[in-house]
């Protein structure tokens, strides 16, 4: 498949978000950012103008890519909408679904006699769903679904619920491909079915995903 994105503007998110509890603790996840960074690099090699909105990861910025660093889900939402409009949006970041209702101004301390700690969490804004109804909307909106179970069913559900064009789903766990790994396997779903990419390195999968996106965009532009 041809992977030309010359003249296209691509917006990619990558990595986790950290939701602060107090000045020393946060809620986070195991995303390394490697998949999203590989996609940004692949899109740039395909000729696109690429903006990468990155959560807190220690990865070098891909050559030719403009990077915006953020920490929280709220900051990522704001950065994404600051970077729109775009022809293609690829939401590879593992964005927190919940954040503490309040951030403690000082370190939360253990108190004598306490057996635990109750946290009040509230929903974060849904970046992918908001991009899918943005005005103007990207021509192609791609979401990611990191699942531990029922990968196909959850990906199909996300495709419909978020009103996106493609969902790239993968199984994650404490071992194997996915988070914190250099390898991955993606099932890329659209309304007609799905195609499997991998198992392979994240760099190779990124090239194949970008080629798939470019081919779809070319077909829709005819």
DSSP characters for 117-176?
A: ----EEEPP-HHHHHHT-SSPPSEEEEEEEESS-HHHHHHHHHHHHT-SEEEEEE--SSS
User: What does the block give as tokens for 168?
Assistant: 């790239």
Determine, yes or no, domain membership for 107.
Answer: no
Residue 1: per-residue pLDDT: 43
125 assigned to some structural domain: yes
Contact 140, 216 (CB under 8 A): yes
- 29 as an active site residue: the answer is yes
Residue 173 has pLDDT above 90, yes or no: no
36: domain CATH number is: 3.40.50.10300
Least confident segment among 135-144, 169-178, 197-206 = 169-178
Q: Could you tell me if residue 139 is inside a domain? A: yes
pLDDT tens per residue across span 17-61 = 999 999 999 999 999 999 999 999 999 999 999 999 999 999 999
Query: What's the mean pLDDT in 107-136?
Result: 94
pLDDT at 75 over 90: yes
Q: Report how far residue 86's alpha carbon sits from residue 180's, in angstroms, rounded to the nearest whole number.
A: 29
Number of domains into which the chain is organized: 1
Residue 160 placed within a domain:
yes
In the chain, % of residues over pLDDT 90: 82
pTM beyond 0.95, yes or no: no
Evaluate whether 16 touches 69 at the Cβ level (below 8 Å).
Answer: no
Asked if the model's pLDDT at residue 174 lies above 50, the reply is no
Residue 105 belongs to some domain of the structure: no
Domain assignment present for residue 213? The answer is: yes
Backbone angles phi, psi at 137, to 5 degrees: -85, 140
- Host domain of residue 139: 9-97+120-220
- As a whole number, mean pLDDT of residues 91-114 equals 94
DSSP 28: -
* pLDDT tens per residue, range 199-218: 999 999 999 999 999 999 98
Q: What per-residue confidence (pLDDT) applies to 94?
A: 96
Do residues 128 and 97 make contact, with C-beta atoms less than 8 angstroms apart? no
Taking alpha carbons only, the member of 14, 103, 15, 17 closest to residue 50 is 14
Helix (H, G, I), strand (E, B) or coil at 24: coil
Q: Which of 29, 135, 154, 170 is catalytic?
A: 29
């Amino acid at each position: 498949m041809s992977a030309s994105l010359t003249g296209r503007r691509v917006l990619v998110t990558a990595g986790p978000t950290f939701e602060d509890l107090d000045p020393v603790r946060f809620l986070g996840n195991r995303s390394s950012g490697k998949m999203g960074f590989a996609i940004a690099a692949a899109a740039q090699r395909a000729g696109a103008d690429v903006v990468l909105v990155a959560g807190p990861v220690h990865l070098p910025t891909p050559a030719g890519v403009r990077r915006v660093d953020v920490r929280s889900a709220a900051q990522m939402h704001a950065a994404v909408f600051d970077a729109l409009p775009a022809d293609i949006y690829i939401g590879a970041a593992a964005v927190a679904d919940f954040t503490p209702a309040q951030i403690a101004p000082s370190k939360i301390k253990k108190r004598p006699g306490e057996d635990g700690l109750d946290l009040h969490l509230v929903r974060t804004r849904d970046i992918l769903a908001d991009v899918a109804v943005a005005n103007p909307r990207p021509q192609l909106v791609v979401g990611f679904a990191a699942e531990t179970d029922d990968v196909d069913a959850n990906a199909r559900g996300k495709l419909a619920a978020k009103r996106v064009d493609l969902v790239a789903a993968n199984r994650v766990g404490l071992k194997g491909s996915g988070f914190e790994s250099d390898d991955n396997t993606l099932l890329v779903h659209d309304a007609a079915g799905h195609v499997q990419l991998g198992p392979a390195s994240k760099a190779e999968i990124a090239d194949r995903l970008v080629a798939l996106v470019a081919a779809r965009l070319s077909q829709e532009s005819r």
